[in-house]
Amino acid sequence: MTTTDQQPAGPGPVLEARGLELSFGPTPALRGADLEVARGELVAVMGPSGSGKTTLLHCLAGILVPDAGEVWFDGGGDDRAHGRTRVDTLGETGRSALRRDRFGFVFQFGQLVPELTAEENVALPLLLSGVGRAQALEAARSWFARLELDGLEKRRSGELSGGQAQRVALARGLVARPPVLFADEPTGALDSLTGERVMDLLQAAAREQGTTVVLVTHEARVAAYADRLVLVRDGKVTSPAPVAAVTAGRP
Protein backbone atom coordinates (compact mmCIF):
# COMPACT_ATOMS: atom_id res chain seq x y z
CA MET A 1 0.00 0.00 0.00
CA THR A 2 1.41 3.41 -0.92
CA THR A 3 1.39 6.47 1.31
CA THR A 4 -1.39 7.96 -0.81
CA ASP A 5 -3.60 5.06 0.22
CA GLN A 6 -3.66 6.09 3.88
CA GLN A 7 -4.58 9.21 5.82
CA PRO A 8 -4.10 10.01 9.51
CA ALA A 9 -6.84 8.54 11.68
CA GLY A 10 -9.19 10.98 13.28
CA PRO A 11 -12.73 11.61 14.47
CA GLY A 12 -14.14 11.53 10.93
CA PRO A 13 -16.56 9.07 9.33
CA VAL A 14 -16.06 5.33 9.54
CA LEU A 15 -16.87 5.10 5.80
CA GLU A 16 -16.50 7.72 3.11
CA ALA A 17 -17.22 7.51 -0.62
CA ARG A 18 -16.10 10.30 -2.92
CA GLY A 19 -17.23 10.65 -6.51
CA LEU A 20 -17.85 6.97 -7.17
CA GLU A 21 -18.41 5.96 -10.77
CA LEU A 22 -19.00 2.43 -12.00
CA SER A 23 -20.46 1.03 -15.20
CA PHE A 24 -21.43 -2.48 -16.19
CA GLY A 25 -20.57 -2.52 -19.87
CA PRO A 26 -22.26 0.50 -21.44
CA THR A 27 -24.67 0.89 -18.52
CA PRO A 28 -23.65 3.34 -15.76
CA ALA A 29 -24.61 2.21 -12.26
CA LEU A 30 -22.93 4.98 -10.22
CA ARG A 31 -22.45 8.51 -11.54
CA GLY A 32 -20.38 10.39 -8.98
CA ALA A 33 -21.91 9.06 -5.75
CA ASP A 34 -20.78 10.60 -2.45
CA LEU A 35 -21.60 9.31 1.04
CA GLU A 36 -20.26 9.61 4.57
CA VAL A 37 -21.29 7.26 7.38
CA ALA A 38 -20.57 8.21 10.97
CA ARG A 39 -19.26 5.79 13.55
CA GLY A 40 -22.12 3.93 15.26
CA GLU A 41 -24.72 5.23 12.80
CA LEU A 42 -27.49 3.13 11.26
CA VAL A 43 -27.99 4.42 7.71
CA ALA A 44 -30.75 3.23 5.41
CA VAL A 45 -30.10 3.48 1.65
CA MET A 46 -33.24 3.57 -0.48
CA GLY A 47 -34.00 4.12 -4.14
CA PRO A 48 -35.85 2.66 -7.12
CA SER A 49 -34.84 -0.66 -8.62
CA GLY A 50 -31.72 -0.13 -10.73
CA SER A 51 -30.85 3.16 -9.03
CA GLY A 52 -27.42 1.91 -7.90
CA LYS A 53 -28.04 1.43 -4.19
CA THR A 54 -26.73 -2.16 -4.01
CA THR A 55 -23.78 -1.24 -6.24
CA LEU A 56 -22.96 1.58 -3.83
CA LEU A 57 -23.05 -0.84 -0.88
CA HIS A 58 -20.80 -3.29 -2.73
CA CYS A 59 -18.25 -0.55 -3.44
CA LEU A 60 -18.26 0.55 0.20
CA ALA A 61 -17.71 -3.06 1.26
CA GLY A 62 -14.88 -3.73 -1.17
CA ILE A 63 -16.88 -6.31 -3.12
CA LEU A 64 -16.73 -4.14 -6.26
CA VAL A 65 -14.00 -1.70 -7.29
CA PRO A 66 -15.29 1.57 -8.77
CA ASP A 67 -14.05 2.84 -12.12
CA ALA A 68 -13.38 6.22 -10.52
CA GLY A 69 -13.61 7.82 -7.10
CA GLU A 70 -12.40 6.83 -3.65
CA VAL A 71 -13.63 4.68 -0.75
CA TRP A 72 -12.09 5.20 2.70
CA PHE A 73 -12.54 3.09 5.83
CA ASP A 74 -11.55 3.97 9.40
CA GLY A 75 -12.57 1.18 11.75
CA GLY A 76 -11.20 2.74 14.92
CA GLY A 77 -9.35 0.71 17.52
CA ASP A 78 -6.13 -0.78 16.16
CA ASP A 79 -6.76 0.79 12.76
CA ARG A 80 -6.09 4.22 14.23
CA ALA A 81 -2.38 3.35 14.57
CA HIS A 82 -2.16 3.03 10.79
CA GLY A 83 -4.57 5.68 9.60
CA ARG A 84 -7.59 5.38 7.37
CA THR A 85 -7.47 2.75 4.64
CA ARG A 86 -8.36 3.48 1.05
CA VAL A 87 -10.44 0.44 0.11
CA ASP A 88 -10.67 0.89 -3.66
CA THR A 89 -6.88 0.72 -4.16
CA LEU A 90 -6.45 -2.53 -2.23
CA GLY A 91 -5.86 -5.70 -4.22
CA GLU A 92 -8.27 -8.60 -4.02
CA THR A 93 -6.30 -10.16 -1.15
CA GLY A 94 -6.46 -6.96 0.89
CA ARG A 95 -10.14 -6.41 0.22
CA SER A 96 -10.91 -10.03 1.09
CA ALA A 97 -9.07 -9.63 4.40
CA LEU A 98 -11.01 -6.44 5.11
CA ARG A 99 -14.33 -8.16 4.41
CA ARG A 100 -13.32 -11.14 6.55
CA ASP A 101 -11.88 -9.29 9.54
CA ARG A 102 -13.53 -5.86 9.70
CA PHE A 103 -16.92 -6.10 7.96
CA GLY A 104 -20.03 -8.17 8.64
CA PHE A 105 -22.71 -9.03 6.07
CA VAL A 106 -26.39 -9.96 6.07
CA PHE A 107 -28.06 -10.65 2.72
CA GLN A 108 -31.67 -11.03 1.65
CA PHE A 109 -31.77 -14.83 1.72
CA GLY A 110 -29.28 -15.35 4.54
CA GLN A 111 -26.94 -17.40 2.35
CA LEU A 112 -26.20 -19.92 5.07
CA VAL A 113 -23.88 -22.81 4.23
CA PRO A 114 -26.32 -25.77 4.02
CA GLU A 115 -23.75 -28.38 5.07
CA LEU A 116 -23.07 -26.61 8.37
CA THR A 117 -25.18 -26.49 11.52
CA ALA A 118 -26.61 -23.19 12.68
CA GLU A 119 -23.89 -22.73 15.29
CA GLU A 120 -21.18 -23.57 12.74
CA ASN A 121 -22.63 -20.99 10.35
CA VAL A 122 -22.49 -18.34 13.06
CA ALA A 123 -18.93 -19.32 13.99
CA LEU A 124 -17.72 -19.23 10.38
CA PRO A 125 -16.28 -15.66 10.36
CA LEU A 126 -14.28 -16.44 13.49
CA LEU A 127 -13.02 -19.73 12.09
CA LEU A 128 -11.94 -18.03 8.86
CA SER A 129 -10.05 -15.44 10.94
CA GLY A 130 -8.05 -18.17 12.67
CA VAL A 131 -9.96 -18.45 15.96
CA GLY A 132 -9.86 -21.98 17.39
CA ARG A 133 -12.93 -24.12 16.80
CA ALA A 134 -13.90 -24.50 20.46
CA GLN A 135 -13.60 -20.77 21.13
CA ALA A 136 -15.45 -19.86 17.93
CA LEU A 137 -18.35 -22.19 18.70
CA GLU A 138 -18.58 -20.89 22.25
CA ALA A 139 -18.85 -17.34 20.96
CA ALA A 140 -21.42 -18.43 18.37
CA ARG A 141 -23.63 -20.17 20.94
CA SER A 142 -23.85 -17.00 23.03
CA TRP A 143 -25.95 -15.43 20.26
CA PHE A 144 -28.70 -18.03 20.23
CA ALA A 145 -30.42 -16.88 23.40
CA ARG A 146 -29.97 -13.21 22.46
CA LEU A 147 -31.72 -13.77 19.14
CA GLU A 148 -34.41 -16.15 20.45
CA LEU A 149 -32.88 -19.20 18.77
CA ASP A 150 -32.44 -21.44 21.82
CA GLY A 151 -32.33 -25.12 20.91
CA LEU A 152 -31.59 -24.57 17.22
CA GLU A 153 -27.81 -24.71 17.43
CA LYS A 154 -27.50 -28.13 15.76
CA ARG A 155 -30.07 -27.60 13.00
CA ARG A 156 -29.07 -27.05 9.40
CA SER A 157 -30.50 -24.31 7.22
CA GLY A 158 -33.12 -26.61 5.66
CA GLU A 159 -34.56 -27.22 9.13
CA LEU A 160 -35.02 -23.52 9.93
CA SER A 161 -37.87 -21.16 9.10
CA GLY A 162 -37.09 -18.08 7.04
CA GLY A 163 -37.06 -15.86 10.11
CA GLN A 164 -34.88 -18.27 12.07
CA ALA A 165 -32.40 -18.57 9.20
CA GLN A 166 -32.17 -14.79 8.88
CA ARG A 167 -31.49 -14.43 12.60
CA VAL A 168 -28.71 -17.01 12.27
CA ALA A 169 -27.34 -14.92 9.39
CA LEU A 170 -27.57 -11.82 11.58
CA ALA A 171 -25.62 -13.55 14.35
CA ARG A 172 -23.00 -14.60 11.80
CA GLY A 173 -22.69 -11.00 10.67
CA LEU A 174 -22.17 -9.67 14.19
CA VAL A 175 -20.30 -12.47 15.98
CA ALA A 176 -16.84 -11.06 15.20
CA ARG A 177 -17.92 -7.60 16.46
CA PRO A 178 -17.17 -5.88 13.13
CA PRO A 179 -16.92 -2.09 13.00
CA VAL A 180 -19.38 -2.11 10.07
CA LEU A 181 -22.28 -4.39 9.16
CA PHE A 182 -23.60 -4.27 5.59
CA ALA A 183 -27.20 -5.47 5.23
CA ASP A 184 -28.66 -5.85 1.73
CA GLU A 185 -32.46 -6.24 1.84
CA PRO A 186 -32.21 -8.33 5.04
CA THR A 187 -35.99 -8.57 5.41
CA GLY A 188 -36.87 -8.87 1.73
CA ALA A 189 -37.67 -12.59 1.94
CA LEU A 190 -39.66 -12.34 5.19
CA ASP A 191 -43.25 -11.46 6.02
CA SER A 192 -43.72 -8.02 7.56
CA LEU A 193 -44.03 -9.12 11.19
CA THR A 194 -41.00 -11.42 11.03
CA GLY A 195 -39.06 -8.72 9.20
CA GLU A 196 -39.79 -6.18 11.90
CA ARG A 197 -38.68 -8.64 14.57
CA VAL A 198 -35.40 -9.22 12.73
CA MET A 199 -34.90 -5.45 12.51
CA ASP A 200 -35.63 -5.05 16.23
CA LEU A 201 -32.92 -7.60 16.97
CA LEU A 202 -30.46 -6.12 14.46
CA GLN A 203 -30.90 -2.63 15.86
CA ALA A 204 -30.52 -3.79 19.46
CA ALA A 205 -27.48 -5.95 18.77
CA ALA A 206 -25.75 -3.24 16.73
CA ARG A 207 -26.41 -0.62 19.40
CA GLU A 208 -25.12 -2.97 22.11
CA GLN A 209 -21.72 -3.39 20.49
CA GLY A 210 -21.45 -0.05 18.67
CA THR A 211 -21.53 -1.49 15.16
CA THR A 212 -22.17 0.87 12.27
CA VAL A 213 -24.90 -0.45 9.96
CA VAL A 214 -25.35 0.37 6.27
CA LEU A 215 -28.72 -1.01 5.24
CA VAL A 216 -30.11 -1.23 1.71
CA THR A 217 -33.89 -1.59 1.64
CA HIS A 218 -36.94 -0.73 -0.43
CA GLU A 219 -39.29 -0.98 2.58
CA ALA A 220 -40.30 2.16 4.48
CA ARG A 221 -40.98 0.08 7.62
CA VAL A 222 -37.40 -1.14 7.61
CA ALA A 223 -35.95 2.29 6.86
CA ALA A 224 -37.80 3.62 9.92
CA TYR A 225 -35.24 1.86 12.13
CA ALA A 226 -32.42 4.02 10.74
CA ASP A 227 -30.85 7.13 12.23
CA ARG A 228 -30.59 8.61 8.76
CA LEU A 229 -31.95 7.90 5.31
CA VAL A 230 -30.16 8.56 2.03
CA LEU A 231 -31.73 8.19 -1.40
CA VAL A 232 -29.98 6.90 -4.51
CA ARG A 233 -31.33 7.95 -7.88
CA ASP A 234 -29.66 7.49 -11.26
CA GLY A 235 -26.39 6.50 -9.62
CA LYS A 236 -26.12 9.52 -7.34
CA VAL A 237 -26.81 10.00 -3.63
CA THR A 238 -29.35 12.75 -3.15
CA SER A 239 -29.55 15.04 -0.17
CA PRO A 240 -30.22 13.05 3.02
CA ALA A 241 -33.90 12.83 3.75
CA PRO A 242 -35.52 12.88 7.21
CA VAL A 243 -36.50 9.32 8.03
CA ALA A 244 -39.95 10.43 9.19
CA ALA A 245 -40.68 12.00 5.81
CA VAL A 246 -40.33 8.66 4.05
CA THR A 247 -41.60 6.32 6.75
CA ALA A 248 -44.67 8.17 7.93
CA GLY A 249 -46.82 5.11 7.32
CA ARG A 250 -45.05 3.00 9.93
CA PRO A 251 -47.08 2.66 13.16
Specify the DSSP element, H or E, that contains 140: helix 133-146
Residue 227 φ/ψ, nearest 5 degrees: -80, -30
pLDDT score recorded for residue 224: 94
CB 128 within 8 A of CB 82: no
- Asked if 186 and 106 count as a contact pair (C-beta separation under 8 A), the reply is yes
CB 74 within 8 A of CB 99: no
Q: Is residue 123 in a domain?
A: yes
150: CATH = 3.40.50.300
Residue 123 belongs to what H/E stretch?
helix 118-128
Per-residue pLDDT at 84:
87
Could you list the residue range(s) of the whole structural domain that residue 145 is in? 3-244
Is 250 a member of any domain?
A: no
For 38-140, strand residue ranges (E) read 42-46, 68-73, 84-86, 103-107
Q: How far apart are CA 124 and CA 109, in angstroms?
A: 17
Q: Is residue 251 part of a domain?
A: no
Contacts of 182 (CB under 8 A, 6+ apart): 57, 60, 61, 103, 104, 105, 106, 213, 214
Instruction: Determine the straight-line distance between the first and last CA of the chain, rounded to whole angstroms.
Output: 49
Provide the CB-side half-sphere exposure for 29 (13 A, CA).
19
Give the Cα separation of 212 and 250 in Å (integer): 23
Q: What is the pLDDT of residue 242?
A: 54
For the chain, what is the domain count? 1
Q: Supply the pTM of this predicted model.
A: 0.88
Q: Which residues in the chain land under pLDDT 70?
A: 1-11, 76-83, 239-251
**How much is the pLDDT for 80?**
45
Question: What pLDDT shows up at residue 217?
Answer: 94
Confirm whether 249 is domain-assigned: no
According to the model, what pLDDT value does residue 243 have? 54
